[in-house]
């Protein structure tokens, strides 16, 4: 009888463990997907889309063609070059993964991204001026990236948290300064995304709570300061 009970206990335990492992694997896949979809490299693209379609008066863009071209250009110049650079580093064995989870892997890509954002910022400043929302988007992300790059030399900070917090704080600042009726629910959804992305980074154990908190504070403060006090 005891042996029968032991076998039943073993069977039930095995089933529970298998289900738990399957759920864990599914959770990891979801978190990895969130990390890719909301990679910091797409922060400028998401912000451009938000500003162009919800706050068009702050962009200096009039036609639908100009708006879509602006989004296409920002993908081409803020996302593609860093991706190609990281791919080249990965192929040469300089970085261990494409996701740059290790602190040391982030140094060269972040320096490259800083230079890239400085160049784009200078171009947009000359073309649109300092009070254009699209220009300020690149400047705010550039400032955050420079600070993150310096901090990362000594301590790992969450760029995902900084990126999504920047999107949220900039969106909130724009909504406070330039209220539009159809942006409240999108803003609430963005706040939900902040929680989701940060939770995902914690779940797959690439960051600690302190690293996430530091990223949130950095992205939120820089984004809010650049927009609330200028536009």
Full pLDDT tens readout for the chain, 231 residues: 455 555 554 444 554 445 555 667 888 999 999 999 999 999 999 999 999 999 999 998 889 999 999 999 999 999 999 999 999 999 999 999 988 988 999 999 999 999 999 999 999 999 888 889 999 999 999 999 999 999 999 999 999 999 999 999 999 999 999 999 899 999 999 999 999 999 999 999 999 999 999 999 999 999 999 999 888
CA distance 35 to 81: 19
Which residues are CB-contacts of 170 (< 8 A; sequence separation ≥ 6)?
47, 137, 140, 223, 224, 226, 227
Distances (CA, A) of 125 to 177, 189, 216: 22, 31, 27
pLDDT of residue 176: 96
pLDDT of residue 10: 47
User: Is 97:105 a contact under the CB 8 Å cutoff?
Assistant: yes
pLDDT of residue 15: 46
CA distance 53 to 162: 23
pLDDT of residue 66: 93
The residue assigned the tokens 């040469």 is: 92
CA distance 121 to 137: 9
User: Is 59:52 a contact under the CB 8 Å cutoff?
Assistant: yes
Give the distance from CA 220 to its chain's centroid.
Answer: 12
CA distance 106 to 152: 8
User: Is 194:216 a contact under the CB 8 Å cutoff?
Assistant: yes
The residue assigned the tokens 């008066």 is: 57
């Amino acid at each position: 009888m005891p042996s029968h009970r032991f076998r039943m206990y073993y069977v039930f335990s095995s089933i529970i463990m298998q289900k738990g492992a399957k759920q864990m694997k599914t959770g990891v896949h979801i978190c990895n997907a969130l990390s890719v979809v909301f990679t910091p490299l797409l922060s400028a693209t998401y912000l451009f889309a938000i500003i162009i379609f919800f706050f068009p008066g702050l962009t200096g863009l009039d036609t639908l063609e100009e708006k879509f071209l602006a989004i296409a250009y920002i993908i081409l110049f803020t996302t593609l070059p860093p991706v190609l650079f990281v791919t080249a580093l990965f192929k040469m064995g300089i970085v261990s993964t494409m996701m740059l989870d290790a602190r040391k892997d982030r140094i060269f890509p972040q320096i490259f991204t800083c230079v890239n954002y400085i160049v784009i910022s200078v171009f947009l400043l000359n073309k649109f001026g300092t009070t254009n929302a699209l220009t300020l988007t690149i400047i705010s992300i550039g400032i955050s990236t420079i600070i993150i790059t310096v901090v990362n030399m000594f301590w790992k900070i969450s760029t995902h948290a900084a990126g999504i917090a920047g999107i949220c704080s900039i969106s909130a600042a724009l909504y406070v300064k330039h209220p539009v009726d159809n942006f409240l629910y999108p803003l609430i959804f963005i706040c939900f995304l902040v929680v989701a992305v940060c939770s995902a980074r914690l779940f797959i154990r690439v960051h600690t709570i302190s690293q996430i908190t530091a990223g949130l504070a950095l992205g939120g403060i820089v984004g809010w300061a650049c927009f609330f006090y200028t536009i």
